[in-house]
Amino acid sequence: MTDLKILGISGSLRTGSLNTALLRAAQKYAPSGLEISIYEGLEGLPLYNGDLDTEETLPAQVRELREQINAADGLLIATPEYNYSIPGGLKNLIDWASRPAATSSLLHKPVAIMGAAPGNFGTVRAQLALRQVFVWTHSDLVVKPEVMVFKAAERFDEGGNLTDEDTVTLLQGLLDSLKTKAEHPAG
């Protein structure tokens, strides 16, 4: 049987991003049968504009995004929290991916969310906001475990490797849940 394909999306563009590092850890600790690639196009996405959202005018980067999501068996999102909510770039990606609503790439798509932040409440509010978004898109959200990596800077080494065993265990639990959903997609 071929591996299930998961598209990882980081909400941060920073080279030293904790959230991108968390996605890399997910690649390392993925269960057998789950292959995680990381989306590279966030920075190149134009702002959502309904006038461009037609078959004739759709930006190539958006077409590529939708194709990558359609081809994936599930999404794994690692989000920072910006001002108690979803970073604008990530929200913009979701807005593009969510159209046209009736046939969108996010419809029934298994989605797992996680997030890392240096502070004490690592991404709690951003993840709640994301969960709300994925209700409207009718995605198949992994509910538990919740992976909120607080005090995240202490859990990675200087090379961006996840060194905290509890976080590894939590991450593996999330990946197992995502794998189960990807194996049995709703529809």
Ligand X SMILES: Cc1cc2nc3c(=O)[nH]c(=O)nc-3n(C[C@H](O)[C@H](O)[C@H](O)COP(=O)(O)O)c2cc1C
Q: Which residues bind ligand X (CB under 6 A)?
A: 12, 14, 17-19, 80-84, 117-119, 121
Half-sphere exposure of 81 (CA within 13 A, CB side): 23
**Minimum distance from CB of 80 to ligand X (Å)?**
3
**Minimum distance from CB of 49 to ligand X (Å)?**
23
60, amino acid identity: A
By beta-carbon proximity to ligand X, the closer residue of 84 and 136 is: 84
Tokens of 15: 């080279």
By beta-carbon proximity to ligand X, the closer residue of 81 and 140 is: 81
**Minimum distance from CB of 23 to ligand X (Å)?**
10
Nearest-10 crossing angle of helices 88-97, 60-71: 80
**Minimum distance from CB of 81 to ligand X (Å)?**
4
By beta-carbon proximity to ligand X, the closer residue of 63 and 151 is: 151
Half-sphere exposure of 21 (CA within 13 A, CB side): 23
Q: Could you give the CA distance from residue 42 to residue 6 in angstroms, rounded to a whole number?
A: 16
